Amino acid sequence: MVVSTRMALPVVLGALVVLQNIATTKSFEVYWNIPTFMCSQFGLDFSGVNRTYAVMQNTNDSFRGDAVSILYDPGKFPALLEKPSTKTLYKRNGGVPQEGNLTEHLEMFERHLDELIPDRNFSGIGVIDFESWRPIYRQNFGSLQPYKDLSVRIEKERHPFWSASHLEREATRRFEATGRDFMERTLLVAKQRRPLAAWGYYAFPYCFNMNGGANGGRENCSPEVQRENNRILWLFDESDIIFPSVYLRQKLSPTEREQLIRGRVREATRVAQRTIGSKPRRKVLTYLRYVYTDTIEYLKESDWVNALAAMKSTGSDGLILWGSSFDLNTRQKCTTFKAYLENTLGPILNSLQQRYIVENPPEQSV
């Protein structure tokens, strides 16, 4: 991936398109959740990104800090994990929530929280990233199917003479009831231990649009998925912020990428409006990776333009830029990303912020 300075002009022009298409009735926050601190070992400094591009960035470019902190698989959630040597699954804390020890998980979560966010006055955004299973039983399909299989086997052992349909219903009931306990109590502990922060779970609500599955090329979440998201409003009621994920794939067409974003953000704003005691509604901050997940190539400037417009048009309050440590683990990757930031991503972010400055000048005293 070679980034040329000749890209700068079309990028700026593309940014102007963003400014023409995005309403500026409210601010649009941009958070930096990219591990560019890794590039310091190669003599590349990203600590001034917040000043140069008007984004929210942790002090000294730390990955977890005063602006944003993400916790990957914190605590001891029940999970089925793969042994690298044999590729077989083993159970952590019972494997599925109905077999898990909630107290053990919460104690471990508190320890992880104190280690990763030691500042008890942390007032940034806190993101819990747990993706091993989903609290809606049906949604554990594909690579998550083993959670359903194990749940049914457990019920078969408990009730050997029940019918298959009865076992499935009981597996669903117990999985969802205990899954709620784990996810809800984890969020409550985070809010109790770091009360000044704004907390939520990464990637919720799920939508499964534009994925080639049963929902096919549908822009909006299916009615079934919307009903399921209504059943976990308890999760959004306890969340301070909702964090939908709109990572893009290059195999999708530009129009399909826009549809993916609009559908997922629209569903996030829908559930945000349904939360209890939320006036104004819960804030929606949308996670977007700066590379296509299927090719790991940088997003084209046109996709940035379209993505920002799609987010704003469907109610997103801001954007969280995310990157993997794999993206920045060599000198070449860091150097290439710095050029990409300066010539492609940065000008768009600056132009977006400049629009707000022009459109919303401070009131002048008489």
Q: What is the C-alpha separation between 299 and 288, in angstroms, rounded? A: 10
Among candidate residues 32, 64, 41, the one with its CA nearest the CA of residue 328: 41
Distances in Å between the Cα of 16 and the Cα atoms of 40, 72, 263, 309, 314 are: 33, 36, 24, 11, 20
Distances in Å between the Cα of 176 and the Cα atoms of 183, 216, 223 are: 10, 26, 20
SS3 243: strand
Instruction: Return the half-sphere exposure (C-beta side, CA atoms, 13 A cut-off) of residue 327.
Output: 22
Return the DSSP state at 2: -
Is 131 one of the annotated active-site residues of the chain?
yes
Confirm if 194 and 122 have CB atoms less than 8 A apart. yes
Among candidate residues 13, 89, 25, 8, the one with its CA nearest the CA of residue 305: 13
User: Catalytic: which of 99, 131, 168, 184?
Assistant: 131
Amino acid at 32: W
Among candidate residues 279, 281, 270, 313, the one with its CA nearest the CA of residue 24: 313
Distances in Å between the Cα of 111 and the Cα atoms of 26, 114, 130, 160, 319 are: 38, 5, 16, 40, 29
Confirm if 252 and 210 have CB atoms less than 8 A apart. yes
Amino acid at 352: L
Confirm if 125 and 31 have CB atoms less than 8 A apart. yes
Residues identified as active-site:
131
